[in-house]
Amino acid sequence: MNLQKKLIIPLTALLMSLPTACSNDVPLPSQTSLTETSQTNVNRNEDKAVLTDPSIRAVGTHPEGRLLIRSTEKTSAAPAPLGAASCYGLETDLKWSGTHQVVWESAVDDSTSPVVSFNKGLEIIQPDDTPIELPQYAFGDTVIYIFTPRYTDCHGLEFLLFGVQNNEAFPVMFEFDGLIRANFYRLPSKPVEATEEGIVVTGGLAAGQDYMEIYHFEYDETERTMVLKKTERLPAGEVR
């Protein structure tokens, strides 16, 4: 990756890269292109180990293992009620804060490797305490997972990407205008869409804004980044 490009660290979820110790020698089984699993709650009959561990907040399934997002301290593993209804959720929704970590659990060699850590700025809001099943898409030999900490928002919903290739997990960054950043935002009512080359993101809508921006990204497997290739601007009323 070009080191001259400016790295933008998101204020809401600071990413600190950690070393990985995964083997790159195990080939990844072929994936069906654009296979998606919506971000839903994990079935309570599917994985009792995940459901009985209160530290696990999200799971990405994979033939070679699983990607986990979990709290790293007891205080962040215990949720608190949101408390008041707003565009962030209902008063009965649950909120997790504190430090969290993304880890890769390999079924190939029974190893566990850290991927990245989130500082205390990360806030997860969900309707209940069931771990989230991460949506996933396949691009070539890479499976990319979408992590959305909050299920709803006022104007723009933050999301982050993580990839798995050859028994290794890693963050997937966004590149646009010569900048690199770890997160992006989408319209809460418009999920990320996949194409053969990458993803399409409908940007958030601010108060009084009468247009929407549609971002077209292509995945660069070598650099492990989503590169912005085109931006469209459409009247807000035309976006469905």
Radius of gyration for the chain, computed over Cα atoms and rounded to the nearest angstrom: 18
pLDDT at 15 exceeding the cut of 70: no
Q: Name, in order, each residue with C-beta under 8 angstroms of 210's C-beta and a sequence gap of 6 or more.
A: 235, 236
Q: What angle do CA 49, 52, 53 make, to 5 degrees?
A: 85
Question: Which whole number is the average pLDDT over 185-189?
Answer: 93
Global pTM value: 0.79
216 strand-pairing partners: 200, 230
Amino acid making up residue 227: V
CA distances to 17, 24, 58, 104 from 64, rounded to whole Å, are 22, 12, 17, 10
- Amino acid (1-letter code) at residue 100: H
Which residues is 226 bridged to in the sheet?
174, 219
Q: What is the mean pLDDT of the chain?
A: 80
Predicted local distance difference test score (pLDDT) of residue 49: 52
Distance CA 182, CA 232 (A): 22
Residue 179 has pLDDT above 60, yes or no: yes
| Band of pLDDT at residue 75, cut at 50, 70 and 90 | low
Query: What percent of the chain stands above pLDDT 70?
Result: 77
